[in-house]
Amino acid sequence: MQYYLYHAYYIIYGINKWLTRRFTISGLVVFVCLLVAGAAGIDTNQTMAYQIFTFLLSLLVIAIISSFWWRFRCGLSRNLPKFATVGTPVQYRIVIDNRTNRVQTGLKLWEDLADPRPSFAEFHTKVESNEQQPHKLEQKLGYFRWRRLIYRQQKVITRAQDIPILSPHSKTEIKVTIKPTHRGLVRFTGITITRPDPFGLFNATKTRNLPQSFWILPKRYKLPQVSLPGMRRYQSGGVALASSVGDLEEFMSLRDYRSGDPLRKIHWKSWAKVGKPIVKEEQDEFFVRHALILDTFQTVAASEKLEEAIAIAASFACQVQTQESLLDLMFVGTEAYCFTTGRGVGHTEKMLEILAAVKACQDKTFEFLIPLVLNRASMLSGCICILLTWDEERQRLVNYLQGMKIPTLVLLVSTEEGDWEQDDSLFNQGQGLDFKVLKLGQIQEGLLNIK
């Protein structure tokens, strides 16, 4: 049953897209009237509706045939931004080069996106746990699930853009506005330009391939000035670690060679200048390093809780000052990942791109993340844990961090009803632990209460 429904929705989506592009609003009205007149005029002895059917059919046939005579040569270029943010409309420019000898009027521009239709496996999987199905029949038909998947995978809302009058052999710049709705990589495949026939019923189309893409970053919340606790700790390799060069110390000064100095510390350029051995004097480097732990473990492919957790992580990634510190983002996707920014390692923009691509981990448990955190615990000055639920595994990680005297901020993203139980034994530890519950729909208010 699901297999046939999937293919039916797949075909209907394609037909609907074709009708929307090809028919004007007036054309759709005429098309509907044509169907009604055709149904009503089956018996020509009882009604004259068949005459209306014949007239409307003639109009549509003429309109469709006339669309094949439109010849439009043009050049197109699109200037996309590097990034956009969920919920914030973004505007960019498209340049149209009219290469014909005629004035072009009444044109519209459509952005062509990569096909958002899900695969059968995606359609067959469980929907988001917090989404309410309208009724049992809808659960069996799955149209609600299909619509949500299309909306999520399309990632942006686009509208047809009216094109001003194009003069012969001239370039015209127009501004296009789209609204990002979901994070991720948006892929454009081309641009379609349409022009209605003289009756204003059917559109002639010209499509140009113009593949491009850009990232939609997670939405971000306003945060107070969060003072993350923790002391500066020794980082093996110092700045060399940040530059991925090797296990070196921070360069301080030059001095004369002393007996016993290793050859690797000789500064060969200075020796060549002064004619005697000169060595580099270095010292171990200490600086602050925080971990940003993102919980991605859930049984469904997508959920509002995960999206909010990613948005919170993105907010902290932008808030934490990394000029004199390091920030490690730790999460699990197909495997365990750790990405570091600050001190020359990477930029915040790169971490936001990574967060934009994060997916739920459905085939592993939270235990898979714990070794990744503990392997770096000795270098950490503090830790921010963004969790989707509260259970023994997550409590065990927090207990490990508490046992190692690492100051920890725990942010639990919760449903309105609450999906966690407070453990008094954990909260009685007190030292270095700040635990906040952030309810869906009240995330911003909860974050502003963080001290």
- pLDDT 10s digits, 78-89: 999 999 999 999
pLDDT at 241: 47
Give the distance from CA 331 to its chain's centroid.
16
**CA pair distance 84, 110, nearest whole angstrom:** 20
Phi, psi at 233, each rounded to 5°: -125, 155
pLDDT at 285: 56
Instruction: Please check whether residue 63 is in contact with residue 55, taking contact to mean a CB–CB distance below 8 angstroms.
Output: no
- pLDDT 10s digits, 416-439: 655 555 554 544 455 678 899 999
- pLDDT 10s digits, 354-386: 999 999 998 899 999 999 999 888 888 889 999
Domains of the chain: 2-217 (2.60.40.10), 234-283 (no CATH), 289-448 (3.40.50.410)
Q: Is the pLDDT of residue 225 over 90?
A: no
Q: Is the pLDDT of residue 132 over 60?
A: no
Where helices occur in 206-329 by DSSP H, the ranges are 238-242, 268-274, 304-319
Give the distance from CA 110 to its chain's centroid.
22
Q: What are the distances in angstroms from CA 378 to CA 91, 291, 354, 381, 400?
A: 46, 11, 25, 8, 12
What single-letter amino acid sits at 433?
Answer: L
| The dihedral sign for the CA sequence 417, 420, 421, 426 | negative
Provide the b/e sequence for 125-163 (b: ≥16 CB within 10 Å).
Answer: eebbeeeeeeeeeeeebbebbbeebeebbbbbebeebeb
pLDDT at 270: 80
Listed range (188-192, 205-209, 296-300, 344-348) with the worst mean pLDDT: 344-348
Q: For the chain, how big is the Rg over CA atoms in Å?
A: 31
- pLDDT 10s digits, 231-261: 444 444 444 444 443 334 555 677 787 877 7
Q: Is the pLDDT of residue 153 over 50?
A: yes
pLDDT at 417: 52
Q: What average pLDDT is seen over the chain?
A: 84
Quick one: what percent of the chain has pLDDT higher than 70?
84
As a whole number, mean pLDDT of residues 197-219 equals 95
pLDDT at 428: 45
Instruction: Please check whether residue 291 is in contact with residue 410, taking contact to mean a CB–CB distance below 8 angstroms.
Output: no
Q: What pLDDT band is residue 277 in, cutting at 50, 70 and 90?
A: confident
Residue 362 tokens read as: 């459905």
363, 390, 396, 397: which is closest to 293 by C-alpha?
397
Instruction: Please check whether residue 111 is in contact with residue 213, taking contact to mean a CB–CB distance below 8 angstroms.
Output: no
**CA pair distance 343, 323, nearest whole angstrom:** 6
- The secondary structure of 241-310 as a DSSP string is HHTTS-S-PEEEEEEE--TT--GGGB-HHHHHHHSS-EEEEEE--EEEEEEEEE--B-SSS--HHHHHHH
Q: Is the pLDDT of residue 215 over 70?
A: yes
The number of CA neighbours under 13 Å toward the Cβ of 426 is 19
pTM over 0.85, yes/no: no
**CA pair distance 50, 396, nearest whole angstrom:** 76
pLDDT at 421: 54
> How do strand 233-234 and strand 382-387 relate by DSSP bridges?
unpaired
**CA pair distance 448, 253, nearest whole angstrom:** 45
What single-letter amino acid sits at 223?
Answer: L
CB atoms within 10 A of CB 111: 20
Residues 6+ apart with CB under 8 A from 157: 178, 179, 181
289 forms beta bridges with 326
The SS3 of residue 414 is strand
Residues 6+ apart with CB under 8 A from 335: none
What single-letter amino acid sits at 358?
Answer: V
Q: What pLDDT band is residue 444 in, cutting at 50, 70 and 90?
A: very high
Q: Is the pLDDT of residue 342 over 80?
A: no
Instruction: Please check whether residue 10 is in contact with residue 2, taking contact to mean a CB–CB distance below 8 angstroms.
Output: no
What single-letter amino acid sits at 354?
Answer: I
CB atoms within 10 A of CB 199: 15
> How do strand 325-332 and strand 286-294 relate by DSSP bridges?
parallel
